[in-house]
Structure 1
Amino acid sequence: MGEVLPGHHADRIQAAIISDAAAKSALVASWRRSSNLHKLDPTDPKPPRYLTEAEFIDARQRIEPLIRAAQSSLDRLYLAVGGVGCCVLLADREGVPIERRGAPADDETFHSWGLWTGSVWNEESEGTNGIGTCLVEQRVLTIHRDQHFHTRNTALSCITAPIYDHEGDLVAALDVSSCRADLTEAFANLISVAVVDAARRIEAENFKMAFPKARILLAPMTDKGSGGLVAVDADDLVVGATRLARLALGITQKSLRKPIPAADLLGGARNVTEVLAEAERGALQRVLARTDGNVSAAAAALGISRATLHRKLNRLDLHRSH
């Protein structure tokens, strides 16, 4: 694809905006937001603005746990795409890249375009672009070259996925941007798969870090999809769920304020008598294991008589030789 002429690009955008295409096209709807809502001019030559150093430090601190959770996934994604003219960006909720991975050979190009840490790529500032539009529409998307609102961004191809925190709220966007003029749609689709996979890994790692003492279970598949995670405490009560799990299982932040038995939520729910019997059986087996099966020692450890313990063992069908 040749160089995009500023006037031609602006005319094309304006024609689309005043047509009825915005009702049918998410891209044209974004162009319309950029022009009508944010009052941007597609021919504006000014590069993206940058946060001050203090503002950037504050922005990093706000999502510091997510940054830590993302490191290995960012490295892995960069290994997959860095050698073909792409950089990897983790942007915060405001569209500011906080972490970046890129090849030194491409750094000058990306820096000149403002694809760098501390720059502002929300839709309000930059119009239609991968990071900003992904954050507005909260979906995986590709903004390829002349789909960008600003003519100065039409050399870029951006593939972006949203990232949600441990409470299911949108917190960041993961972006792979390419400076290659020969990026094909097929290759962009492959990159999109890798970006989505990395975003889900970052969410999972962040979720595990948010519930360090909980067991993390995979939510069962439903007609709304799968891949969600649920955090369960020592009492088998659900204490957290990822966005995918919330959507699949109908969990809300309000419902999590009340104890939810994991068995009720994840299937295989049993009545209270069965649950109590299983808990008692497990407790007795642990005590007997610690006393090498000696019933007298186990009864003493439990503070009950040997006869009482024998009755419990018989009722629960637990037989010991001692």
Structure 2
Amino acid sequence: MRASVTSHIDEVIACTSRSFLQPMAGGDNLITRSWTRCVNEHGLDPTRVQPARVLDNWQLREHQEQIESFLRVARAGMEQLYKRVAPLGYVLLLTDAQGVTVDFIGNDQWDRDLKRSGLCLGADWNESHAGTCGVGTCIVERTPLTCHQGDHFDATHIGLTCTTAPLFDPTGEFIGVLDISALSSPSEKPSQHLARHMTVMFAKMVEDANFMRHFSSHWILRLGVDWALVDVSGECMLAFDTDGQIVGANSGARQLLAAVSDDGVAMALVGKPLTSVFKVSMDDIWRVARSGLSSERTVLSTHRHELFYAMATPPRHATRALQSAAATPIQMDCPALDRLAGDDPIMGRLLEQAKRLVNKQVNILLQGETGTGKELVARALHTSSQRAKQPFVAVNCASIPESLIESELFGYTAGSFTGGRSKGATGLILQADGGTLFLDEIGDMPLALQTRLLRALSEGEVMPLGAHTPVPVKLTVVAASHRDLRRLIADGNFREDLYYRLCGATLHLPPLRLRADKAFVMARVLEQEGQQIGMQAELSKAAQDILFNFAWPGNIRQLRNTIRFALAICDDGYIEPHHLPSELQGDAGLTEAVAPEQPRPAQPLTTLLPSDLSAGLQQAQGLMLALRKHHWNVTAAALELGICRATVYRQMKRYHIVSPTQQ
């Protein structure tokens, strides 16, 4: 052992005394840099061996208190990692940003040897006095590394092997190091490759768990290049508030999405609106957010033409509200078809047709003005079908650049074109195999691509770019457009044969100004937006009149934005006319006498917070709506609500609901 210590000291001296920094033979330039720092910056002497420095209990407690909440999150990840590496003889250290070991998991049988080697709670592994080591050098380099045996500066530690990964807090600040170490190991450094992989993987898991905890009161947008892993992967996560402002970004998001300034410096994401990163409106963002409550995925495109599958996790305080809303007649995410409308006869007939089509092998074309709820109907068609547990993939044909839409729809093999992913990519059509492909704004699809889509739909197979063998696919297509496709056909901008392939059935959604169930729509939107921000909201009679008389050129989307605006500026949740946008204040937007007479609500429309009391009130309101709709036929009301007749009678008794014929 003495000979090995002497030879190690000689090697360190020889390396650090060279006039030019060069890697040692068969060595690592990162380790060489650290050795040089130890001599030139830290003033350490390689001939002087010294034991590990360990803090006393009160000093250790001071360091632990600084990151106490992080330690609670990290402990669960450490325990999972230790289960995997303990049989191989490893122990785990978690240090703070100064290199002090604030948490430790190891084998008690080796306690004496571990403490002698500094593998224990309270050990200080800062490079300035411990020399080159896994923790200390990771703190300086801020990158995963393995410091294996003779890589250590101090000869005291040349028997150890230490593999580390840096940890960052939700704001991107360095917070500590995750380390797995062993008292001894095979002499070859590559033997630690798997240890490094696992350390990096669990460090990222700990970071992402801390990110989710820190931003639990915000929406979390998950992004990924793999459809199936978006909901479980923390590859790229953004936290955003109800105004669509980014308030946090994990390390993956900062690397993949941060814009680069003219001088090559990455620009911060935090503080920017999501719309400055993605080519979408806030309405699109909220649709993505709501899709996160199911198995659906949406494709988002950045302004640099990068495409990601997206899902969203709601704020913790809103989760119960969303789940409660999902159990009531007014739903937020993919409502059942028969809950998309009130007593409007046009929507009633449309939804009856839709219910007959959901499990038939018929492609559906949705037509209607912008903002009439075409995507909501498409999602409801999927949710109500036998394909509900299969993928629902939504693609906005107008938002994907023409140069990328072919590869994104059909996929491509490895090496098909410059700039593609090294392993190729599965196209959106194949991602929707077995489920539903929703093609929004189909009228904006390039003419050349329409030919390929027609072939895929006709033959039931897809040919990825660069492939030589077609891949079979089975799916239902729901297409949508606000444009007159027949006019596009006449102008030569849309294939007639594709049109007839897509419109196995065509459903025309009426504009909001012509709907007889405005009261139902307003109540639904008011409730959804109130739940979104955790506010109990109410419309005054004067505000209701303005909303009823407005023409709504932007339809339900404009109504939603109006309610969202009003809730943002009113203090107590009571919406008065002066809280409404200015375009609703004048006479220009008043509805002309073209809509059927519409029932006005007898009392102010109110959103109810999802407490036990409000849940009961919502249940009573839903029961009343169903009974009145079916003229107090209990059997029909029970079928609509999905409950038995006995339950209807029990609820009628509980809420003192009495049929008019019995009053």
Q: Under TM normalisation by the shorter chain, which class is it?
A: 0.7 to 0.9
Please give the alpha-carbon distance, in whole angstroms, between the structure 1 residues aligned to 2:286 and 2:30. 56
Amino acid at match of 1:268: K
More helix by share: 1
Q: Say yes or no: does 1:6 pair with 2:12.
A: no
Summarize the alignment of residues 147-296 of structure 1 with structure 2, pairs less than 5 Å apart: 147-182=151-186, 184-219=188-223, 227-250=235-258, 256=270, 258=271, 260-265=272-277, 267-270=278-281, 289=330, 293=342, 295-296=518-519
Q: Say yes or no: does 1:62 pair with 2:60.
A: no
Deviation digits for residues 119-141 of structure 1, max 9, x if unmatched? 11010011000000000011110
Please give the alpha-carbon distance, in whole angstroms, between the structure 2 residues aligned to 1:147 and 1:297. 71
Measured at CA, do residues 249 and 152 of structure 1 come closer, stay the same or move farther in structure 2, by a change above 3 Å? same
Which residue number in structure 2 is paired with residue 308 of structure 1? 548
Measured at CA, do residues 3 and 242 of structure 1 come closer, stay the same or move farther in structure 2, by a change above 3 Å? farther
Among candidates 120, 136, 144, match of residue 124 of structure 2: 120
Over alpha carbons, which structure has the higher Rg? Answer: 2
| SS of 1:59 mapped into structure 2 | helix
**Contact 1:51/1:118 (<8 A) preserved:** yes
Amino acid at match of 2:237: L
Q: TM-score normalized by structure 2? A: 0.42
**Contact 2:52/2:116 (<8 A) preserved:** no
Which residue number in structure 1 is paired with residue 32 of structure 2? 28
**Contact 2:91/2:180 (<8 A) preserved:** yes
Amino acid at match of 2:276: D
Please give the alpha-carbon distance, in whole angstroms, between the structure 1 residues aligned to 2:216 and 2:181. 33
Amino acid at match of 2:8: H
More moved, 56-65 vs 310-319: 310-319
1:85 Cα shift? 1.3
Amino acid at match of 1:189: H
Please give the alpha-carbon distance, in whole angstroms, between the structure 1 residues aligned to 2:175 and 2:553. 52
Aligned-residue Cα RMSD (Å) equals 3.6
Unaligned runs of 5+ residues in structure 2 are: 24-28, 226-233, 260-265, 288-325, 332-338, 343-516, 524-537, 560-594, 600-663
Among candidates 37, 44, 51, match of residue 48 of structure 2: 44
1:296 Cα shift? 4.1
1:250 Cα shift? 2.0
| SS of 1:289 mapped into structure 2 | coil
Q: TM-score normalized by structure 1? A: 0.82
Please give the alpha-carbon distance, in whole angstroms, between the structure 2 residues aligned to 1:298 and 1:254. 40
1:18 Cα shift? 1.6
The size of the alignment, in residue pairs, is 307
Please give the alpha-carbon distance, in whole angstroms, between the structure 2 residues aligned to 1:38 and 1:95. 15
Higher relative contact order (CA 8 A, sep 6+): 1
1:38 Cα shift? 1.4
1:148 Cα shift? 0.4
Amino acid at match of 1:103: N
1:56 Cα shift? 0.9
Please give the alpha-carbon distance, in whole angstroms, between the structure 2 residues aligned to 1:244 and 1:28. 29
| SS of 1:305 mapped into structure 2 | helix
Summarize the alignment of residues 83-122 of structure 1 with structure 2, pairs less than 5 Å apart: 83-122=87-126
Deviation digits for residues 265-294 of structure 1, max 9, x if unmatched? 2x2323x8x77998xxxxxxx999389735
Q: Say yes or no: does 1:17 pair with 2:28.
A: no
1:305 Cα shift? 2.7
**Contact 2:38/2:128 (<8 A) preserved:** yes
1:36 Cα shift? 2.1
**Contact 2:170/2:248 (<8 A) preserved:** yes
**Contact 1:145/1:157 (<8 A) preserved:** yes
Unaligned runs of 5+ residues in structure 1 are: 279-285
Which residue number in structure 1 is paired with residue 564 of structure 2? none
1:51 Cα shift? 1.9
Amino acid at match of 2:5: P
